[in-house]
Structure 1
Amino acid sequence: MEITGKVDGDRRAPSHLSRLCETCSRLDLSRLAWRQGSMVLPCPEVSLGTVDEVKSKETSCELCRLLADQLTEVTTKVGADDILQVKPRTYATLQTSPGDDKLLTVSYLCVEVVPVDFDGTYGPKLPPNFWITGKEQPPSPADFQPWNLMTLQACLDPVPTVGQFCEDIEGHSTSGEYLNFSGRLRTNEVNLRLPRRWLDLCHIAHGTSCNPTRTSKSVVGMRVVDVVNMTIVNAPPNCPYAALSYCWGSVQNFKCTTENYDLLSLPGGLATAPLPNTIRDAITVTLAMSLRYLWVDALCITQDDQDMVQSQIPLMDTIYSAAIVTIVAAGGDNSHSGLPGVQVGSRKIKTDIVRTGGLNVTRAPNAYYRLGVEDSVWRSRAWTMQEELFSNRKLIFTPERMVWTCRGDYWTEQEAREPSPRPERKALAPRVDGIETKLPDTLSFSTYETLVQAYSRRQMGYLSDSLNAFAGIERHLFTAAGYQVIWGLPQMWFTRCLAWRTRYETDQHHEKQVLSSHDGTTHSVGFPSWSWSAWQRIPNTDTFVTDPDLPDDKNLLIFYECSKGGCERRIDEQSNESLIQPWSPKSTSVEAVDTIPPPWVEGPQAISLSPECLSRSWDVSSGLLKFWTSAAIVYLRRRECYRTNTPWTYEVLNQNATRISLRINVQSTRHMDWPGKSDLQTQSLDVSPESDRSVLAFEAIVIGREKGTNYHCAALFALLVEWVDGIAYRRGLFTVEEAAWMQLERSWMLVTLG
């Protein structure tokens, strides 16, 4: 007998004969979903017929109806003669019993659409910039490759439910059904007993490895929401609390201010407040988890109190790492979106169950093999990166499901994958933009670089927060260890970090950063052009990256940071090697240690500091750097190119119109007044107004040197700068061989870089 039906709530599906066509009735999906052996076994594919054949049987076959319904929802063009096939996608291999060497491979069942023109060749789609603009792009192998229509999940018979798991306090540890990663049934409203069940299970299965690494006592002046008395209170010492991570969005948000704080801090003060849905739902979930306190930025930080804002913003690493769990609102784009499934009618789940080939199958979420947040607005925001990174446990609400992820594992609402009495399998470690969600104890340049790249992909509502939303990461990695971070650039790698570049044209923004001095006064300082934080980000791209080869001749140039009061202090690039993983270039340098500076260093390197500056305490950075360096006039030739990420390519020429470098990266030239003619009046340059070429003169200043190796000559990193009132501003970065730089008309000068 075969079973089919729809399930509402935690009730079992009614048993009756399935309506299956001849093709579907012959399917043996169990051998695809649960296979004996390792995950390296070949994955067989099972054909279901053409699209037209499946559609013609939707009234007589439950499985065909399920597929036909999904075909009506996709926007991808589907041909009548395209083939539908089932293909397993492995996601776990485990032992069938403790001490047993027999393996069970668990797979989702992917239903693919195979274009009729598919020739069996797999390959990437050719990028748009591969072809000349205006020309028709020839077909790419990817145009005719199979694509995923929907995913089915295998379920045991009878199908387990979320409610049963929540009620089965001990049963999960002895029940064999939880060995097989079975799908399970859930309701439109989330079962609020499940988060608490997961929290208890995390304590049991993972011990202390997922516990907070800090406490509320670590944050001076921290406030929390008392969800029992619905009021804002000062956080009791070492109080267990949940934290909320969400997107404010562009809507009107209720927040704590100096005007309403007295009212909100009274018992019941929040009960009648117009709280947005996301915050109200988070309060409901916190209560359901038997936690009394909740931290929400909009309520626990007085938003118009600049002193409190400035003191709390750098502590996001502590606030989220001290939370028992972080509730993540990944199901909407603003604070009014709510947590899907908490309120009645806030989500709708399709729970079709079909039994075929000795196996129950149900729909799996679209992002079945991921956490389901990769394409969410929440994951795209800059502020949420450090919130995700520092949270030890996360309870994630997506439009399709509720997910638990911690340092030890991750569990999902629709799948029985919680721990059972079997040898520990390797947890599917969640990652943040390719970064492990636990930062290493030993610092490394690659960790910093990866974090900045990931951060640069994120969107930001206010560019004035370019460093604020990264402050918790800086504090965790550097400040807590006693190292300075100067406008986003760590002191121990300052020269290397000055050589950051971008793959795309982007403009400098002119927002200001609010800085606090020792006497408590605040100052608004413009972001310096030499910092990546001063440039607009391109969402979903690695806007800021570093060159594969970086300046490695440390202290060849000596950089000084300038204060608002007119004093300078040297940026010391020496580091404590016991805490910081040493950085080394990819190739071994020919030179050991340079005792003689290169010939382009033609004057003093250090700046004499006045006794007043040496005795005065540092106040607030002005964003200016001072340093002695080599400068020269170079000519930048711009050519039009047929690429989507940048419309131009560049070459560096000397005063004789000879090309000296192609290794160049310019942030943006849209703001520059490119001339129709140039000072370079030579026959080798076409600079007429009608030409796609144009030349502009720049002053270049050296910021670093890459030592020569057995494979290439020494090279210099230089900035293209524009001068305004005696201050140089970064406009681009290029690399040139040291020998070529020596051929330019150079000068040794004291530069102020803003």
Structure 2
Amino acid sequence: MAPTLCSKCSTFRFYDLFNDDVVFHSDLNSLVQLAKKCESCSLWWSQVQRTCTKEDIAACLAKKLPANAVKSSDNGDFKIYLRGEWHPAGTASVPDQIWLSCGVVVSAVGHDAPSKLQTNLVVFADPVAAGADPATTAGGLFAGRYSTSAVHPEYHATFAKNTLANCRTGHGVCNQACPPGTRQMPTRVIDVGDQTLPAAKRVTRIVLTKDLKQPQPYTALSYCWGSGTQAMLNDTNLADFLKLLPESQLSKTHVEAIDLTRLLGIRYLWIDALCIIQKNQKDWEAESKRMSSVYGNAELTIIAGRSPDSGLGFLTTKKHPKPVPMRAGPNPHTGEGPDLGTVYLTMQRGKSVGPVDTRGWCFQEALLSNRALVFGEDQVFYQCRQHTRYEDGCVDVDVSQRGQALTSLHPGTKPEVLRRWYQMLVSFTPRALTEPHDIFACIVSVALITHGVLKSRYLAGLWECDMPRGLLWKSRWSYVSRKHFLSIEKPLASPFTKRPGEVPGKPVIRAPSWSWAYVTGPVFWDTNPRIESRWIDAKNICIRPRDSKGLWTKQSGAGNPDVLFMPALELQIFGKAVEVRCTKVMKKHTPLTPEGIMLEPVKSASSGPAKSSYIALGYLDFPSDPMPANIWCLLVVAHEGLLLTRDGKGKFHRVGWFAVQDGKQFEAVKETAVDLV
């Protein structure tokens, strides 16, 4: 059924608007009135309300200058203008779009006169029809596409096939990372059936890859389990699943991943719930250590980003307003050739991944994947080592946010790898884990890769070669003081826990107090290369290992990066430790300002009571907890250190960090032995 359009919208062509400012309506009131019967104007009005402030909208409706507008010669102009923006071959980081502005032509925005009101809609085209000449169709010149359950419901498979094929033939860095001839397969995969057979004769089952004649391409799934994961592999049903995997018993996400793998023409698929024997600790530990191989060797990782629960599936996007058609006109750049047909207007789609980006296990899976098809909240996009290509036509060539250099063929020097390790943890620590004790397991493959460069012992998430900086992790809430950072908390036992002594929902200990893994929530390290000497210059470091060989701990078995559980580990340190007392609490100036404590020594460096002088400004890891019975300042580097408390056995526990206020008071302090647990 043809859409209902007003006289303006029915005659507009994208070509008429490209690089030219065209009057759309006499004023905003006219747009509002026509929005009642014109689908295109209705979409524009919805976008104005969604993206512009109520104050600016009200001012334009009343034909008054918004409070923040700059006075200029156009103050009396309240016309609505449109201007098109097109990017040949879809190589830009923004999609093809049309801008709307009130009172000032779009070309003037950002120059000498700001617009009173401004928004935009994205332009997309249908895929090029089979056999059609791309030069004479909108689909050949407009890169944007639109895939929903109502519009091209299977276009995601076509999009994946095309981008994967281009990646295979044109991306040397992606092919070099995973040469087809060297590909290793996981222990078990799902055989989605021989595609040459009729659907009724295909058999879906689990296969042992050691029984295959040679390695085969496979996809891997990254997703949120939620409560929807139904059938799972276990010791009891393994023999049955090797014969037949009943799809009717699988969660919707699992079924959709199987269907998508078939559409891609790939026969095998890896899903953790169906390829790792659940509740089998030995198999779980062995397979958890192989995630680098599982995701790194996959032909494609399917990331079900938009789905919070595997029972909901991931192919369907959230509902968007219905796109409206528009004539394309001739080639926008040359103005020559026939009419290209129809393009469509829709609201701009975001680039966020979705709920998967909040889960701890999914972080490593995306980081390790050579190629991934991401079903984001608003659109599908293809992500590889060279670029990210979005369904709306955008191309992002900056892959640094994925931290791919950490898992690349040439990760860099040791200082660069350490810097990326900390940056990776800054992104990882805000993520949630259902089972808190999985904290080391779900980054073990990244730790193994990092260890290959550093050749250093891995101690409860810290690298022995960079211990001073590693110890000085900080809550982003206490250090950066931004309202969008949450304070750190103590990890809580899983509601499904069966560990002795643990109570569901109550705090648990999964790492020593000095490790970032002791807490849950966003933590931070200073990785600014300009001040990196603070952490590596021996003259600036104020602690050292007691072991003559430079080992920070002598505990048996410590240091292996594939150790999945490290709840207790003791460091033996020489350093300057001063017992202090809190003399003043620095109250928050604003809700965004952290609360610090002013500290002064209990005794002077010589003997007797200390003179009143602040030695440090401290920040407790858990400020809502009762103040520790005793507090010590351990100077780690010249300007910072750890707040500790001492137990009845003489062992020290971390309770926070401090910034030095009076460094001279540390000069006379004698070095002492500190056992940090």
Letter in structure 2 aligned against 1:559: P
Is 2:382 aligned against 1:404? Answer: yes
Supply the distance in 1 between the matched residues of 2:32 and 2:557 (Cα, whole angstroms). Answer: 81
CA contact (8 A) 1:388 1:432 kept: no
Higher strand share: 1
Is 2:518 aligned against 1:534? Answer: yes
The answer for the alignment partner of 1:294 in structure 2 is: 269
For structure 1, the 5+ residue unaligned runs are 7-16, 36-42, 97-102, 123-141, 418-425, 516-523, 561-567, 574-606, 675-695, 707-714
Q: Between Structure 1 and Structure 2, how many residues are aligned?
A: 585
The answer for the alignment partner of 1:493 in structure 2 is: 466
Which SS does the other structure have where 2:625 is aligned?
coil
Supply the distance in 2 between the matched residues of 1:32 and 1:434 (Cα, whole angstroms). Answer: 40
1:461 to 434, 441, 445: 434
Which SS does the other structure have where 1:82 is aligned?
helix
For structure 2, the 5+ residue unaligned runs are 62-78, 194-202, 333-341, 478-486, 500-507, 603-609
CA contact (8 A) 1:651 1:664 kept: yes
Supply the distance in 2 between the matched residues of 1:193 and 1:105 (Cα, whole angstroms). Answer: 22
The answer for the alignment partner of 2:339 in structure 1 is: none
Is 2:565 aligned against 1:557? Answer: no
Rate the CA distance shift 1:367–1:657 in 2: closer, same or farther, 3 A. farther
Letter in structure 2 aligned against 1:355: R
Supply the distance in 2 between the matched residues of 1:19 and 1:112 (Cα, whole angstroms). Answer: 19
Is 2:232 aligned against 1:255? Answer: yes
CA contact (8 A) 1:183 1:362 kept: no
The answer for the alignment partner of 1:271 in structure 2 is: 247
Rate the CA distance shift 1:430–1:87 in 2: closer, same or farther, 3 A. farther
Is 2:379 aligned against 1:379? Answer: no
Supply the distance in 1 between the matched residues of 2:648 and 2:229 (Cα, whole angstroms). Answer: 40
The answer for the alignment partner of 1:699 in structure 2 is: 632
The answer for the alignment partner of 1:735 in structure 2 is: 659
State the Cα distance separating 1:433 from its structure 2 match: 6.0
1:137-181 Cα shifts (integer Å, max 9, x gaps): xxxxx9x98564x5221x5xxx5x3362xx45x966x77866743
Supply the distance in 2 between the matched residues of 1:724 and 1:317 (Cα, whole angstroms). Answer: 43
CA contact (8 A) 1:378 1:384 kept: yes
State the Cα distance separating 1:465 from its structure 2 match: 2.1
1:443-491 Cα shifts (integer Å, max 9, x gaps): 4232122111111232333322222222222112224764322111122
The equivalences for 1:346-357 within 5 A come to 350-355=322-327
Rate the CA distance shift 1:697–1:400 in 2: closer, same or farther, 3 A. closer
Letter in structure 2 aligned against 1:405: Q
Letter in structure 2 aligned against 1:429: D
Supply the distance in 2 between the matched residues of 1:383 and 1:105 (Cα, whole angstroms). Answer: 31
Letter in structure 2 aligned against 1:545: W
Is 2:604 aligned against 1:648? Answer: no
CA contact (8 A) 1:402 1:413 kept: yes
Is 2:381 aligned against 1:448? Answer: no
Letter in structure 2 aligned against 1:189: P
Letter in structure 2 aligned against 1:698: I
Letter in structure 2 aligned against 1:181: F
The answer for the alignment partner of 1:626 in structure 2 is: 572
1:357-383 Cα shifts (integer Å, max 9, x gaps): 878552345335x4x42xx11122222
Which SS does the other structure have where 2:174 is aligned?
coil
The answer for the alignment partner of 1:638 in structure 2 is: 585
Is 2:121 aligned against 1:151? Answer: yes
CA contact (8 A) 1:340 1:397 kept: yes
Rate the CA distance shift 1:399–1:667 in 2: closer, same or farther, 3 A. closer
Supply the distance in 2 between the matched residues of 1:383 and 1:91 (Cα, whole angstroms). Answer: 39
Supply the distance in 2 between the matched residues of 1:238 and 1:462 (Cα, whole angstroms). Answer: 33
CA contact (8 A) 1:557 1:629 kept: yes
State the Cα distance separating 1:197 from its structure 2 match: 3.4
Supply the distance in 2 between the matched residues of 1:487 and 1:88 (Cα, whole angstroms). Answer: 56
The answer for the alignment partner of 1:666 in structure 2 is: 620
1:329 to 273, 279, 304: 304
Letter in structure 2 aligned against 1:213: C
The equivalences for 1:571-720 within 5 A come to 572=551, 622-636=568-582, 637-645=584-592, 648-655=595-602, 656=610, 658-661=612-615, 664-673=618-627, 698-702=631-635, 704-706=636-638, 715=639, 717-720=641-644
Which SS does the other structure have where 1:660 is aligned?
coil
State the Cα distance separating 1:652 from its structure 2 match: 2.4
Deviates more, 1:192-201 or 1:487-496: 192-201
Is 2:154 aligned against 1:190? Answer: yes
Rate the CA distance shift 1:434–1:366 in 2: closer, same or farther, 3 A. farther
Supply the distance in 1 between the matched residues of 2:172 and 2:467 (Cα, whole angstroms). Answer: 40
CA contact (8 A) 1:151 1:366 kept: yes
State the Cα distance separating 1:307 from its structure 2 match: 1.1
State the Cα distance separating 1:223 from its structure 2 match: 1.1
TM-score, normalised via structure 2 length: 0.73
Higher helix share: 2
State the Cα distance separating 1:350 from its structure 2 match: 2.5
State the Cα distance separating 1:215 from its structure 2 match: 7.5
State the Cα distance separating 1:295 from its structure 2 match: 0.8
Rate the CA distance shift 1:399–1:105 in 2: closer, same or farther, 3 A. closer
The equivalences for 1:355-370 within 5 A come to 355=327, 361-364=343-346, 366-367=348-349, 370=351
The answer for the alignment partner of 1:128 in structure 2 is: none
Which SS does the other structure have where 1:623 is aligned?
coil
Is 2:101 aligned against 1:109? Answer: no
Supply the distance in 2 between the matched residues of 1:63 and 1:276 (Cα, whole angstroms). Answer: 39
State the Cα distance separating 1:326 from its structure 2 match: 0.7
2:371 to 393, 396, 400: 393
What's the RMSD between the two structures over aligned residues? 4.6
State the Cα distance separating 1:94 from its structure 2 match: 7.1
CA contact (8 A) 1:286 1:293 kept: yes
1:256-302 Cα shifts (integer Å, max 9, x gaps): 12222222121x23334x11111100000101111111011111111
Supply the distance in 1 between the matched residues of 2:102 and 2:549 (Cα, whole angstroms). Answer: 63
Which SS does the other structure have where 1:404 is aligned?
strand
CA contact (8 A) 1:188 1:349 kept: no
Supply the distance in 2 between the matched residues of 1:613 and 1:29 (Cα, whole angstroms). Answer: 67
Rate the CA distance shift 1:188–1:435 in 2: closer, same or farther, 3 A. same
Rate the CA distance shift 1:666–1:288 in 2: closer, same or farther, 3 A. same
1:200-234 Cα shifts (integer Å, max 9, x gaps): 23323335734652789887962111111311112
CA contact (8 A) 2:40 2:324 kept: no
The answer for the alignment partner of 2:398 in structure 1 is: 429
1:310 to 281, 285, 291: 285
The answer for the alignment partner of 2:66 in structure 1 is: none
Supply the distance in 2 between the matched residues of 1:387 and 1:569 (Cα, whole angstroms). Answer: 40
Supply the distance in 1 between the matched residues of 2:221 and 2:551 (Cα, whole angstroms). Answer: 39
Rate the CA distance shift 1:213–1:69 in 2: closer, same or farther, 3 A. same
Rate the CA distance shift 1:652–1:328 in 2: closer, same or farther, 3 A. same
Rate the CA distance shift 1:733–1:109 in 2: closer, same or farther, 3 A. same
Supply the distance in 1 between the matched residues of 2:33 and 2:476 (Cα, whole angstroms). Answer: 51
State the Cα distance separating 1:81 from its structure 2 match: 4.2
Rate the CA distance shift 1:613–1:286 in 2: closer, same or farther, 3 A. closer
Which SS does the other structure have where 1:254 is aligned?
coil
1:544 to 524, 534, 542: 524
CA contact (8 A) 1:410 1:428 kept: yes
